[in-house]
Amino acid sequence: MSSARETTSVRVQIFGEEHIIKGQASQEYIEELALLVDLRLEEVQRSNPMLPRHQIAILVAINLANELEKLKGEYKELLALLEEAN
């Protein structure tokens, strides 16, 4: 018996374009992620209306990568604190 999860295909709107996202998560989760990306793109576009779409996408990707790296650092710090406490 296989433990592989079923692939979900979800049609979403991101930055005014329709995309089909495939993944091993629920439809609701994929839609939530798409909404997050869409909101970020619109936010950067409002702040920088003259930037081309691809540069807006790159800025959003950099911002999200920065947030991820900060969270990874916080996670490592929390793990270290937990190890010290034990």
User: How far apart are the C-alpha atoms of 37 and 41, rounded to whole Å?
Assistant: 6
Cβ count near 60 (within 10 Å): 21
User: How far apart are the C-alpha atoms of 41 and 21, rounded to whole Å?
Assistant: 17
User: How far apart are the C-alpha atoms of 23 and 16, rounded to whole Å?
Assistant: 21
Distance of CA 20 to the CA centre of its chain: 15
pLDDT digit string (tens) for 4-51?
Answer: 689 999 999 999 999 999 999 999 999 999 999 999 999 999 999 999
Give the mean pLDDT of 46-60.
97
Q: What is the pLDDT of residue 1?
A: 43
Q: What is the pLDDT of residue 86?
A: 85
Q: What is the pLDDT of residue 2?
A: 44
